[in-house]
Structure 1
Amino acid sequence: MRRLLLALPFALLPPAVAQANEHQHAHADEHAEHGSLDAHEHGAARLNVVLDGQALELQLESPAMNLAGFEHAANSAADKAKVAAVRNQLQDPQALFGLSAGDCTLSEAELESALFADDEHAHDGQHADEDESEHSEIHAHYQLDCKKPSELKQLNLGELFKRFPATEKIQVQLIGPNGQQGVELTPANASLNF
Structure 2
Amino acid sequence: MPRPLLALSLLLLTAGLARAEEPHRHSEHAHGEALAAHEHGIAQLNLALDGEILEIEFASPATNLVGFEHAARNDAERARVAEVRARLEQPLDLFGVPSAARCRVREHSLHGALFEPAGAGGQEHSEIEARYRLQCSAADALQGLNLAALFGTFPATQKIQVQLIGPRGQQGLELSPERSGLTF
User: Could you state the TM-score of these two structures normalised by the residue count of structure 1?
Assistant: 0.83
Alignment correspondent of 1:81: 79
> d(CA) in 2 for partners of 1:12 and 1:116?
24
> d(CA) in 2 for partners of 1:29 and 1:11?
26
* Preserved CA contact (<8 Å) 1:66 1:166: yes
Provide the alpha-carbon RMSD of the alignment. 2.5
- State the shift of 1:24 in Å: 1.5
> d(CA) in 2 for partners of 1:28 and 1:3?
32
* Preserved CA contact (<8 Å) 1:9 1:48: no
Alignment correspondent of 1:67: 65
Q: Per-residue displacement from partner, 1:71-97 (whole Å, max 9, x unpaired)?
A: 000120000000000000001111111
- State the shift of 1:7 in Å: 4.6
Question: Within 5 A, what are the aligned runs for 1:22-171?
Answer: 22-27=23-28, 33=34, 39-100=37-98, 101-118=100-117, 131-132=122-123, 134-171=124-161
> d(CA) in 2 for partners of 1:86 and 1:3?
32
> d(CA) in 2 for partners of 1:49 and 1:174?
4
- State the shift of 1:28 in Å: 7.6
- 5+ residue gaps, structure 1, are none
Alignment correspondent of 2:6: 4
Give the SS at the match of 2:54.
strand
Give the SS at the match of 2:173.
strand
Q: For 1:111, give the aligned amino acid.
A: L
User: Could you state the TM-score of these two structures normalised by the residue count of structure 2?
Assistant: 0.87
* Preserved CA contact (<8 Å) 2:13 2:163: no
Alignment correspondent of 1:178: 168
Judging changes above 3 Å, is the alpha-carbon distance between structure 1 residues 178 and 45 closer, same or farther for their aligned structure 2 residues?
A: same
Considering fraction of residues, name the structure with more strand. 2
> d(CA) in 1 for partners of 2:6 and 2:145?
19
> d(CA) in 1 for partners of 2:5 and 2:72?
33
Considering fraction of residues, name the structure with more helix. 1
Aligned residues: 180
Q: For 1:23, give the aligned amino acid.
A: H
Q: For 1:102, give the aligned amino acid.
A: A
Q: For 2:6, give the aligned amino acid.
A: L
- State the shift of 1:26 in Å: 3.9
* Preserved CA contact (<8 Å) 1:28 1:40: no
* Preserved CA contact (<8 Å) 1:13 1:182: no
Judging changes above 3 Å, is the alpha-carbon distance between structure 1 residues 190 and 161 closer, same or farther for their aligned structure 2 residues?
A: same
Judging changes above 3 Å, is the alpha-carbon distance between structure 1 residues 3 and 87 closer, same or farther for their aligned structure 2 residues?
A: farther
Identical-pair percentage: 47
Q: Per-residue displacement from partner, 1:106-152 (whole Å, max 9, x unpaired)?
A: 1111001110113xx5x6x5x6xxx24x1110000001110011110
* Preserved CA contact (<8 Å) 2:160 2:175: yes
- State the shift of 1:29 in Å: 9.6
